[in-house]
């Protein structure tokens, strides 16, 4: 979409000349013969940049600028005048003009000035949009926290966020460790600075050192240029070290020194560089057990574990399951252009499921359901939940079991799950399973399921 330029000049010929020069760069120009006409055009159709003459009858360029500062504070205004003087230039810039150019002007100079103003407008809009996205995603009321455990976690994060202390987040895979790290950043004074996330498990030891600490040109084969590491790139902000329990013993010593000294030395470099970074780490392992087993340095553990945050698995906070699922459904359905809701049996299945994959598994199940749902109501089979068989001796497969015995166990587990989701209603369970009610009765009797 072309940027829109409003040109204000009481001399129509001059306005037409300016429009002709700018239209060559693809801008959509609207000449206006007065400041009042320009204000009406901007209110009706908007503008990306205003180019206005300074000396005009009734309302001059300075007065127009002041009106626009009040109603459109981020709109760049470029002033033109044949009466170039230091006092008028100073007054225009003091009142918030983007820039000032004297007549007669060079067309290329004006076009370059307008191009810079258009870039500023686009950057301002992008920045505003990003701030809105951050606010909507990381505002306290945007985070699902229905259970007591989740509310206690958010309270802890709010209290910890303003500090500089290192935080160690521990929890099962999929419990939202990176989300907590981002909340710590966005609720802190460092929010205007970078948030850099690194998965330590994704890099070999030598590569990880270069990734975190940076390297100088020629430090190793392929290092054609110097490169800042994540510690430097996160300057003033937050560095999130995920899977911290996977780093080797040698690298643990190097990381400990960086944290102790608040300085980093690039690979191949001679002088250390000062850093100002808040470190947040995460792991799905028990670092205390690793310390006891000699796999993790005790001194590094205490350096990282200044403020420990333990995330509760989803199976222990089932009050959060349905709110999470509904949040994911609203987003996925909107992206797919569908209007969907969970059926009562689907909601029962969601609450009953053990969720070994935690929040990530809920999100994946909802995305599947959005794709598979046949109508506007999501059924349990649309979720494709992996039902765990009952933990009994008969559920444990033996090596010499026959194929029929394996099939019977699978059928029994699926029928029990369908009955549970349907609240014991065999007709609804049969519909969920896609079989006749009489067929369900026979299978329940043969498999010894109560209520047949």
Residues 103 and 168 in one domain: no
Q: Which of 234, 241, 216 is CA-nearest to residue 226?
A: 216
pLDDT at 394 over 70: no
Q: How confident is the model at residue 123 (pLDDT cuts 50, 70, 90)?
A: confident
Q: Tell me, what CATH number does 320's domain have?
A: 1.10.8.60
- Please check the confidence at residue 140 and state whether its pLDDT lies above 70: no
Using one digit for the tens of pLDDT, what is the confidence trace for 334-391?
Answer: 999 999 999 999 999 999 999 999 999 999 999 999 999 999 999 999 999 875 444 4
Q: Are residues 242 and 199 in the same domain?
A: yes
User: Which of 364, 383, 402 represents a domain boundary (last residue)?
Assistant: 383
Residue 87, in any domain of the structure:
yes
The whole-number average pLDDT for the span 42-54 is 91
Residues 307 and 181 in one domain: yes
User: What Å distances lie between residue 65 and 23, 34, 76, 116, 304, CA to CA?
Assistant: 23, 13, 9, 18, 53
pLDDT score at 122: 85
Q: What is the mean pLDDT of the chain?
A: 87
The answer on 271 and 355 residing in a single domain is no
Kind plus residue range of the DSSP H or E element containing 279: strand 278-283
pLDDT for 395 equals 40
Helix pair 61-71, 86-94: axis angle to 10 deg: 10
Query: At 86, is the pLDDT very low, low, confident or very high (cuts 50, 70, 90)?
Result: low
- Angle between helical axes of 437-447 and 403-421 (0-180°, round to 10): 120
Residue 187 has pLDDT above 60, yes or no: yes
pLDDT-derived band of residue 145, with 50, 70 and 90 as boundaries? confident
Residue 158 belongs to a domain: no
Residue 170's CATH number: 3.40.50.300
How many Å is the Cα radius of gyration of the chain?
A: 32
Mean pLDDT (whole number) for 237-246: 96
16 three-class SS: helix
Q: With a cut of 70, say whether residue 170 has pLDDT above it.
A: yes
> How many structural domains does the chain have?
4
The answer as to whether 208 is a domain residue is yes
In this structure, are residues 161 and 187 in contact, taking their beta carbons and an 8 Å threshold? Answer: yes
Residues 307 and 322 in one domain: no
**Environment class of 149 (CB within 10 Å of its CB; exposed 0-12, middle 13-18, buried 19+):** middle
> Which residue among 265, 293, 311 closes a domain?
311
CB of 266 closer than 8 Å to CB of 222: no
* Domain match, 12 and 106 both: yes
* 379 and 421 both lie in a single domain: no
Q: Which domain-ending residue is among 327, 350, 383?
A: 383
The residue count of the chain comes to 452
Residue 236 inside a domain? The answer is: yes
Give pLDDT tens digits for 204-216. 877 999 999 999 9
How much is the pLDDT for 265? 93
Instruction: With respect to residue 152, please indicate whether it lies within any of the assigned structural domains.
Output: no
Say whether both 326 and 307 belong to one domain: no
- The domain containing residue 192 runs over which residues? 163-311
End-to-end CA separation in angstroms for the chain = 66
| Lowest mean pLDDT across 25-29, 59-63, 406-410, 425-429 | 406-410
Looking at residue 440, which CATH number applies to its domain?
1.10.10
Same domain, 120 and 21: yes
Quick one: which H or E segment has residue 278? strand 278-283
Q: Give the separation between CA 145 and CA 140, rounded to whole angstroms.
A: 9
Residues with Cβ within 8 Å of residue 47, at least 6 apart in sequence: 4, 5, 6, 30, 41, 72, 75
CATH number of the domain that 74 lies in? 3.40.50.2300
- Assigned domain for 98 exists: yes
- Same structural domain, 10 and 113: yes
Same domain? 295 vs 339: no
Q: Say what percent of the chain tops pLDDT 90.
A: 60
Flag whether pLDDT at 398 surpasses 50: no
Rounded to whole angstroms, the Cα distance separating 28 from 2 reads: 6
Taking Cα atoms as reference points, which of 31, 26, 52 lies closest to residue 41?
31
Q: Which of 129-133, 299-303, 348-352, 406-410 has the weakest average pLDDT?
A: 129-133
Does the pTM surpass 0.75? The reply is no
Residue 437 lies in a domain: yes
Residue 12: pLDDT over 70: yes
Burial 244-263 (b: 16+ CB within 10 A, else e): bbbbeeebbebbbebbeeee
The C-alpha atoms of residue 283 and residue 175 are separated, in whole angstroms, by 11
Both 289 and 403 in one domain: the answer is no
Tell me the DSSP string of 74-110: T--EEEEESS--HHHHHHHHHTT-SEEEESS--HHHH
Higher pLDDT, 224 or 262: 262
Please check whether residue 303 is in contact with residue 250, taking contact to mean a CB–CB distance below 8 angstroms: no
Yes or no: say if 81 and 88 are a contact pair by the CB < 8 Å rule: yes
70 contact partners, CB below 8 Å, separation of at least 6: none
As a whole number of angstroms, the longest Cα–Cα distance in the chain is 100
Is 230 within the bounds of a domain? yes
């Amino acid at each position: 979409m072309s940027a829109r330029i409003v040109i204000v000049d009481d001399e129509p010929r001059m306005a037409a000349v300016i429009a002709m020069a700018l239209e060559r760069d693809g801008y959509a120009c609207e000449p206006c013969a007065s400041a009042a006409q320009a204000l009406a055009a901007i209110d009706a159709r908007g503008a990306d940049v205003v180019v206005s003459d300074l000396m005009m009858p009734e309302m001059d360029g300075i007065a127009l600028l002041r009106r626009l500062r009040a109603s459109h504070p981020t709109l760049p205004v470029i002033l033109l005048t044949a009466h170039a003087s230091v006092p008028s230039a100073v007054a225009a810039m003091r009142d918030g003009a983007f820039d000032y150019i004297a007549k007669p002007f060079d067309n290329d100079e004006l076009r370059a000035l307008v191009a810079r103003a258009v870039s500023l407008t686009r950057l301002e809009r992008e920045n505003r949009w990003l701030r809105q996205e951050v606010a909507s995603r990381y505002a306290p009321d945007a985070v699902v926290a229905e259970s007591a455990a989740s509310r206690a976690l958010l309270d802890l994060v709010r209290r910890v966020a303003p500090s500089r202390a290192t935080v160690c987040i521990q929890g099962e895979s999929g419990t939202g460790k990176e989300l907590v790290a981002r909340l710590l950043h966005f609720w802190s004074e460092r929010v205007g600075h970078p948030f850099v996330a690194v998965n330590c498990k994704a890099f070999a030891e030598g590569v990880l050192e270069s990734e975190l600490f940076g390297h100088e040109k020629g430090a190793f084969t392929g290092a054609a240029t110097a490169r800042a590491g994540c510690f430097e790139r996160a300057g003033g902000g937050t560095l999130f070290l995920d899977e911290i329990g996977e780093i080797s013993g040698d690298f643990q010593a190097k990381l400990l020194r960086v944290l102790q000294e608040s300085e980093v030395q690039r690979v191949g470099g001679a002088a250390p560089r000062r850093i100002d970074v808040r470190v947040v780490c995460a792991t799905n392992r028990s670092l205390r057990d690793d310390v006891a087993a000699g796999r993790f340095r005790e001194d590094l553990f205490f350096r990282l574990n200044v403020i420990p945050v333990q995330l509760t698995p989803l199976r222990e906070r089932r009050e959060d399951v349905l709110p999470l699922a509904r949040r994911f459904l609203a987003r996925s359905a909107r992206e797919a252009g569908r209007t969907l809701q969970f059926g009562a049996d689907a909601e029962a299945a969601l609450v009953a499921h053990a969720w070994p994959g935690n929040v990530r598994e809920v999100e994946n199940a909802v995305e599947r359901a959005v794709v598979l749902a046949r109508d506007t109501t999501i059924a349990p089979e649309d979720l494709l939940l992996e039902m765990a068989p009952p933990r009994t001796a008969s559920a444990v497969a033996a090596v010499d079991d026959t194929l029929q015995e394996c099939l019977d166990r699978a059928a029994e587990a699926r029928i029990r799950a369908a009955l549970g989701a349907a609240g014991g209603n065999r007709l609804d369970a049969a519909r969920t399973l896609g079989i006749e009610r009489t067929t369900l009765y026979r299978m329940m009797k043969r498999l010894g399921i109560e209520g047949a």
